[in-house]
Amino acid sequence: MSQPRHLAGEFFLSGDEACAEGAINAGCRFFAGYPITPATEIAERMSERLPEVGGTYIQMEDELASMAAVLGASWGGVKAMTATSGPGFSLMMENIGLGAMTETPCVVVDIQRAGPSTGLPTLTGQGDMLQARWGSHGCYSIIALSPDSPQELYDLTIKAFNLSEQFRVPVLIMSEAATGHMYERVVIKSVEELELLPRRKPNVPPEEYLPYQPDDDLVPAMASAGEGYGFHTTGLTHDERGYPAMSVEAQDRLIRRLVDKIEKNKDAIIELEEDGTENAEVIVCSYGISARISQMAVQMARDEGMKVGILRLITVWPFPDERIRGLAQTARAFVVPEINYGQIVREVERCAGGKRTVLVPHMGGTVHNPHTIFEAIRQAVK
Amino acid sequence: MAERHEIRLCGFGGQGVILAGHIIGQAAAIYEHKHATFIQDYGPEARGGSTRADVVVSDERVTYPYIETPTVLLAMSQPAYDKYHPQNHRDALVIIDAELVKPIVEAGKKVISVPARRIAEELGRTAVANSVMLGFFTAATGIVSPDAIKKAIAASVPKNTIELNLKAFDRGYAYGLEHSEAR
Amino acid sequence: MTKVIVSNQKHPLDTYLRTDRLPHIWCPGCGIGAVLHAFLRALLDSGVDLKKVALVSGIGCTGRVAGYVRLDSFHTTHGRALPFATGLKIANPELKLVVFSGDGDLIAIGGNHFIHAARRNIDMTVICVNNFNYGMTGGQLGPTTPLTGRTTTTMRGNIEEPFNIPYLAAAAGAVYIARWTTAHIHSLEHSIGEALAKKGFSLVEAISPCPTYYGRMNKQPTGLDQIRYFRYNSIVRHGIDPRLVGIEANGQIVVGKFVDIERPYIPGATGSGNGRTT
């Protein structure tokens, strides 16, 4: 085995490549995947890079298996990731649910393309944003991040691993073909400078260990297989011992905690970027490549003297309800460009307190023309 | 307003058009610390047909990484030229391979043809025609420095072809200085 | 008056079970408990460090095994025990991986994972309890239900050919394949022991009664009826070509060790990574 090799310096990378390097530097040592455009480059780079740092790439028979293997690897004590696009993301929903239920840290990257079904295999979309939140059956909560550049695909992949360990939850990176296939400068700091969160290990002997007894922040400590804890974990509703508990009370306790551990820790999770939102009449609220494109439209509007701010959702889930409610106190309208026919706009509208909320839809295949967004801003200012 | 160059490279698959685009982007972003994005035309329809690389170089962050009206079009095949030249910016500089593209001559349009393939042939490998083109592009546009492009070439091509590619670049660059008003 | 004697004596295997979870969910006459018993005895005999054993199950009656053993155990999603176990094994190659699940879980919904795990020759032991139907959901057609067999979704008799599990496993590349019934508990235990010692993808199929559903609907209404059928209709044929071990309705059941070969497996003996070794 060759010496661990971590990149450091400045590189001209695609978003997909940057994502893989972020994973490597975050300590990811297991990747299970299945080829799918436009996420394949992540798998290819991981297959090349993981053996160089003592990790393993395995190509599974489908995305059902990829997601299951990622969960298994995480319970083996290894940071694990997979990457896919819409059709594969749909298949992963089953075991993302198991990951949420068993509180398994892992990272799932969705380089979105336009759907539904096979859709536009190589062309961009943002149609999986609500699936990210609600895609697996039952009630749970999840974390999803949305990068707007190759640099952020690198940075947020590292952040995703940290959040997944801190909150014991699958963390989704909701990117899109436009960003995954875009090349740009990516600055990679030496791995020694990174703050990487380790797994929350139990600090009690095996006979006292309760695998699902939460700490104060509602997150329990996690043993790995083979450490002598002899624990049981199940996708069934379970009690603090991890044992199946088929009762209304157990269900109530567990589901409240699974949701609350994310929703009540929102302040520690949510990251937003704002520009000119103070005193703005119109606020453009967007995410991923659409937020990036919106910046150009916002500049055009400002050049014409309009008071426009931009709120970029770096964290999409959990949703920043509070911040949007706050902005709705002063803003007259929200403009929401996204590459779908209206997903995140529903959330914005929910929090906008009756203020006008304007969707700028795009059915996918490419990004918005900035002039379209500009026009929507102009209409909203009126 | 920021200075923004929209550079489109196009040709047949296999001519190294994509690599050349990546090299320009890398040279600008890494070795000159400008802002640059690079996007390749990506799709099944690209196989065997025209391939395309779009590079935006700017002194500000590129919020919109797509090209509507190229300011530089570098074409290495007739079908690609035919497909893309109508989209050009009216002041666009068009650089074509003399042997592969017959341009439409229009008054006031800047078209420069370069015998890139022939020069590459003289060097013993037609595969380095893209490096000749890069040399010419560098001399004719001044968007990135020859030094930065050469560093990017060395970082991008297979080790055993670095020397040949740099030689091809130098030939293209020299030809460019002679035959264009270098800016 | 009948005298009820309550024994305080511990069962020798109690130490290895989560006795605080008993009674189990299995019906009277069900064979899963017997297979679990054979497995635990084989595991104890094998000398493997129990702290280094991980047991993974899918969904179904047999899938509940994970919840009863005092081991690191994972009760996963329907059909996905094998890919889950694959990730776990690669993450920590020191673990002895056992996948314990039913025929529906492993061969129908998980069938694709089954052939691919065997093809990769992932180092794990699979114990497949085959009771010819879906028990937990109430006795529906399974991938192993014999032709003409009655289930709650084939009340007029099954018209589909079932899978011959050993043949499927052999074709896909499993290095160790044995089949017994719950009427052959010692042989079953012996084969599970051999499978645990084997490097690579080993499979033990355990034919088991499901009197509540399959047996009742196919003229073997009690566990004892089914055991009797197994006992008097089984024939031991070690080394027989697995193509020849398909099971017909109320027909002969060929049992024995069918395959025991060597093949490169994953993860390799050198530790983590894709390094392959024999």
Share of chain C above pLDDT 70, in %: 94
Nearest to B152 by CA among B22, B47, B56, B55: B22
Cα–Cα distance for residue pair A216/C153, rounded to 1 Å: 49
The reply to whether omega before C267 is within 30° of 0 (cis) is yes
| Residue B162: predicted pLDDT | 97
- Please name each of the domains of chain C with its CATH number: 23-260 (3.40.50.970)
Share of chain A above pLDDT 70, in %: 99
Residue B31 distance to chain A (closest CA, Å): 9
| Residue B30: predicted pLDDT | 98
Confidence of residue B107 (pLDDT cuts 50, 70, 90): confident
| Residue C271: predicted pLDDT | 43
Please spell the DSSP secondary structure of chain B, one letter per residue: ---EEEEEEEEETTSSHHHHHHHHHHIIIIIS--EEEEEE--SGGGTTSEEEEEEEEESS--S----SS-SEEEE-SHHHHHHHGGGS-TT-EEEEETTT--PPP-TT-EEEEE-HHHHHHHTT-GGGHHHHHHHHHHHHH-SS-HHHHHHHHHHHS-GGGHHHHHHHHHHHHHHHHHHS---
| Residue C270: predicted pLDDT | 47
Record: contact C92-A94, CB cut-off 8 A: no
Contacts of A335 (CB under 8 A, 6+ apart): A282, A283, A284, A285, A358, A360, A373, A376, A377, A380
| Cα angle A234-C125-C11, degrees, rounded to a multiple of 5 | 70
Q: Which member of A95, A224, A235 has the closest CB to residue C75? A: A235
Residues of B in contact with A290 (CB under 8 A): none
Mean per-residue pLDDT of chain C: 94
Residues of B in contact with A178 (CB under 8 A): 65
Residue B44 has pLDDT above 60, yes or no: no
Give the chains touching A; criterion: ≥3 Cβ pairs < 8 Å.
Answer: B, C
Kind and range of the H or E element at A44? Answer: helix A40-49
Record: contact A80-C91, CB cut-off 8 A: yes
| Residue A255: predicted pLDDT | 98
Residue A349 distance to chain B (closest CA, Å): 26
Record: contact A235-C76, CB cut-off 8 A: yes
Confidence of residue B45 (pLDDT cuts 50, 70, 90): low
**Interface check C198 vs A, CB under 8 A:** no
Residue B106 has pLDDT above 50, yes or no: yes
**Tokens 């088929």 belong to which residue?**
A246
Confidence of residue C5 (pLDDT cuts 50, 70, 90): low
Kind and range of the H or E element at A102? Answer: helix A86-102
pLDDT digit string (tens) for C135-165?
999 999 999 999 999 999 999 999 999 999 9
Q: Where are the domains of chain A?
A: 9-193, 273-381
- What CATH class is the domain A273-381? alpha beta
Mean pLDDT confidence for C50-75 = 98
Which of A63-67, B49-53, B94-98 shows the lowest per-residue confidence on average (mean pLDDT)?
Answer: B49-53
Cα–Cα distance for residue pair B54/B22, rounded to 1 Å: 9
Q: Which stretches of chain A sit within 8 Å of chain B by CB?
A: 10-12, 38, 121-123, 178, 181-185, 292-293, 295-296, 299, 366-367, 370
Cα–Cα distance for residue pair A37/A122, rounded to 1 Å: 6
Cα–Cα distance for residue pair A363/A340, rounded to 1 Å: 5
**Interface check C58 vs A, CB under 8 A:** no
Count up the domains in chain B and report the number.
Answer: 1
Domain hosting B133: range is 4-179
The answer to whether A208 and A54 have CB atoms below 8 angstroms apart is no
Residue B180 has pLDDT above 80, yes or no: no
Taking the CA of residue A329 as centre, how many other CA atoms within 13 Å lie in the half-sphere pointing to its CB?
Answer: 8
Residues of C in contact with A1 (CB under 8 A): 273
Which of A127-141, A319-333, B100-114 shows the lowest per-residue confidence on average (mean pLDDT)?
Answer: B100-114
Mean pLDDT confidence for A154-160 = 98
In the DSSP assignment, the letter for residue C153 is T
Confidence of residue B183 (pLDDT cuts 50, 70, 90): very low
Report phi then psi at C186, rounded to 5: -70, -40
**Interface check A78 vs C, CB under 8 A:** yes
CATH number of A9-193: 3.40.50.970
CA nearest to A12 within chain B: B26
Which of C88-102, C176-190, C262-276 shows the lowest per-residue confidence on average (mean pLDDT)?
Answer: C262-276
| Residue A1: predicted pLDDT | 41
Confidence of residue B46 (pLDDT cuts 50, 70, 90): very low
Please spell the DSSP secondary structure of C178-201, one letter per residue: EEEETT-HHHHHHHHHHHHHSSSE
Record: contact A30-C83, CB cut-off 8 A: no
Instruction: Read off the CATH number of the domain in which B101 is found.
Output: 3.40.920.10
| Residue C108: predicted pLDDT | 98
Mean pLDDT confidence for C34-46 = 98
Cα–Cα distance for residue pair A369/B66, rounded to 1 Å: 10
Whole-Å CA distances, C61 to C67, C77, C128, C211: 11, 13, 12, 13
| Residue C272: predicted pLDDT | 43
Nearest to B76 by CA among B104, B114, B39: B114
Mean pLDDT confidence for B68-86 = 94
**Portion 104-143 of C in contact with A at CB < 8 A:** 112-113, 116
pLDDT digit string (tens) for A177-235?
999 999 999 999 999 999 999 999 999 999 999 999 999 999 999 999 999 999 999 99
pLDDT digit string (tens) for B113-129?
999 999 999 999 999 99
Would you say the pTM of this structure is higher than 0.90? yes
pLDDT digit string (tens) for C218-263?
999 999 999 999 999 999 999 999 999 999 999 999 999 999 999 9
Record: contact A225-C90, CB cut-off 8 A: no
Record: contact C95-A228, CB cut-off 8 A: no
| Residue B108: predicted pLDDT | 78
Q: Which member of C51, C80, C116 has the closest CB to residue A95? A: C80
Residue C277 has pLDDT above 60, yes or no: no
Interface test with B, best of A185, A290, A292, A310 (most B CBs within 10 A): A185
Residue C57 has pLDDT above 90, yes or no: yes
**Portion 220-259 of A in contact with C at CB < 8 A:** 224-236, 243-244
Name the amino acid, one letter, at C244: L
pLDDT digit string (tens) for A8-26?
999 999 999 999 999 999 9
| Residue C123: predicted pLDDT | 98
Mean pLDDT confidence for A321-347 = 98
| Residue C1: predicted pLDDT | 57
CA nearest to A185 within chain B: B29
pLDDT digit string (tens) for A229-261?
999 999 999 999 999 999 999 999 999 999 999
Q: Which member of A32, A94, A226 has the closest CB to residue C54? A: A226
| Cα angle A151-A153-A157, degrees, rounded to a multiple of 5 | 125
